[in-house]
Structure 1
Amino acid sequence: MLYLVATPIGNLKEFTQRAIETLDSVDYILCEDTRTSQVLLEFYKIKKPLKSYHKFNESKASLNIIEDLKAGKNIALISDAGMPGISDPGQILVKELIKNDLEYTVISGASAFVNAYVLSGYDVPFTFVGFLSDNNTKRKTMLENIKDYDTTLIFYMSPHSIEKDLLDLYSALGDREICVVREISKKFEEKTFSTLKEGFKGTIKGEFVVVVNKPEKKESHNDINADLQVLLDMGLTKSDASKVLAKARGLKKNDVYKNSHMLF
């Protein structure tokens, strides 16, 4: 059995009892970086053989892992922080497990984009995008594909790329509200609200999660007029109908009232 185990994204105490027991029971643990993982494992007094499994060797390493699983070994996969397979190694291995009809499961836990999304307060639905590609052609294609999404968008960004990433998003999406989150679950967790046009003016240090609010939906005159007509047919005056509709739609009463004159 292979276990994909979520690890803390900042605070080491945010680690489930089931995750600890799982890591303590397997034959060996696959790590994105054995040095980073050793800090967590020593904190919980987990002593197991460690093997490297990262983006540069995952295709080749997966073949050996499959053989070990077929031989009856129990193996855990962890990343440096968060959930394996979410912008971290794991997806290739899962595909091989499916192809070979081998058992695997996820041990639940932290994932940075979920925390950031909740902190943003933005509406569902949302689309998790992850990191924008470093390749200019692929990046352009990614931005072209998502520019018309009517959803909240969530991105991972590194300190060396955040300024360019936000500029490219502004060019592709126009100006939208953003929530930039860093140091998630740590003592100095920080969330900053601004817009894509304004960018990020805070401390550029550590990994970032940027949540981009979905585009504002502009009410058409036809939509407003249709609702106004319903209220007027119910016997409301222009003034009262405008007041009710403005409150329901989050619009200015005067703007709705001006629209009402178009009905006559």
Structure 2
Amino acid sequence: MVSTILHKNELRKGLYIVPTPIGNLGDITIRAIEILKKSDFILCEDTRVSKKLLEKFEIKTSLISNHKFNETKNLTKVLNILKDGKLVSLISDAGTPGISDPGAVLINECVKQNINVIPLPGPSAVTTAVSASGFNEKYLFYGFFPEKEKLIVEELENYSNLNFCMVFFISPKKINKIIPYLKTYFKNRKILICREISKYYEEYLRSDIANLKLFENEPKGELTIIISEKQINKNTSQKISESDKNSINIMLKKLSTKEITNIIANYSNAPKKEIYEYCIKLKNEK
């Protein structure tokens, strides 16, 4: 294979967002290795973790520690490096920077100052877990839960009303605290709990949330959990709510019957056929 990147000066200068393996080091891309080798500096969370990756692929680029406690303090220094025409890569300990990891502060400042931000595709626990779930491909990514119990309850109550798959990150210390709330607000859904993705002891636990049990021992490693879309009994006729009827009335001026049916069915328990027939009825009355 011949690389399309031949010389360092052919690369656009700026900030490269480089995903790194979430477990198996073999998951790094050829392009990611090339960019890291040709960078002037690499921003990383923990230099001890990143050095293992760099040594594996014989990358000798200088590291700059850049974690959530010092990324704001680092801002001026890094921006000056970028303005000086240097090529800088941003990595996290694992996965894609900026996705529940440091990065947003610097990226936003680069955007404001018209500094190139070039993202690379690569490893992500979110898409890896969703692809294995078998649930609806429409999903919402939340990330980590807040610390305060009151906020956790509020968030889960709000999200339980949406008819999408939900993706959460949970630390092993919190999973048993969260499970009772999942059983309360998502009781008619399914769940996939992903542990140690792409590592030797990776594990995928599938269950109906109603049957979910507490872990007897604290699991090792961060958990990615996927909650399925709402399980709707198609044989049970559900009436269209008054608020949905009002929404349909408004949308009929701009959207087709099919488009309205799909939108309303996405969050309503009413069958598509009933929504469609209601749209036709309204159109005929006008």
Aligned pairs (5 A) from 1:1-264: 1-197=14-210, 198-199=212-213, 201=215, 204-219=219-234, 221-222=236-237
* Structure 2: distance between partners of 1:172 and 1:73: 49
- Higher gyration radius (CA): 1
The answer to which of 75-84 and 187-196 deviates more is 187-196
* Structure 1: distance between partners of 2:27 and 2:237: 51
Structure 1 alignment gaps of length 5 or more: 225-264
* Structure 2: distance between partners of 1:117 and 1:202: 26
TM-score (norm 1): 0.79
* Structure 1: distance between partners of 2:209 and 2:146: 19
The answer to which of 66-75 and 35-44 deviates more is 66-75
Q: 1:11 to 1:202 in 2, by over 3 A?
A: farther
User: Is the 2:188–2:231 Cα contact (8 Å) retained in structure 1?
Assistant: no
Letter in 1 for 2:161: D
Structure 2 alignment gaps of length 5 or more: 1-13, 240-286
CA drift at 1:14: 0.7
CA drift at 1:44: 0.4
* Structure 2: distance between partners of 1:126 and 1:93: 27
* Structure 1: distance between partners of 2:101 and 2:216: 26
CA drift at 1:163: 1.1
> Number of aligned pairs?
224
Q: 1:222 to 1:121 in 2, by over 3 A?
A: closer
* Structure 2: distance between partners of 1:153 and 1:223: 24
* Structure 2: distance between partners of 1:140 and 1:7: 33
User: Is the 2:20–2:91 Cα contact (8 Å) retained in structure 1?
Assistant: yes
Percent same amino acid among aligned pairs? Answer: 39
User: Is the 2:28–2:122 Cα contact (8 Å) retained in structure 1?
Assistant: yes
* Structure 2: distance between partners of 1:202 and 1:5: 37
In structure 2, the residue corresponding to 1:13 is in which secondary structure?
helix
Give CA-to-partner distance per residue, 1:206-261, whole Å, 9 cap, x none: 1111111112113365479xxxxxxxxxxxxxxxxxxxxxxxxxxxxxxxxxxxxx
Q: 1:222 to 1:166 in 2, by over 3 A?
A: closer
In structure 2, the residue corresponding to 1:75 is in which secondary structure?
strand
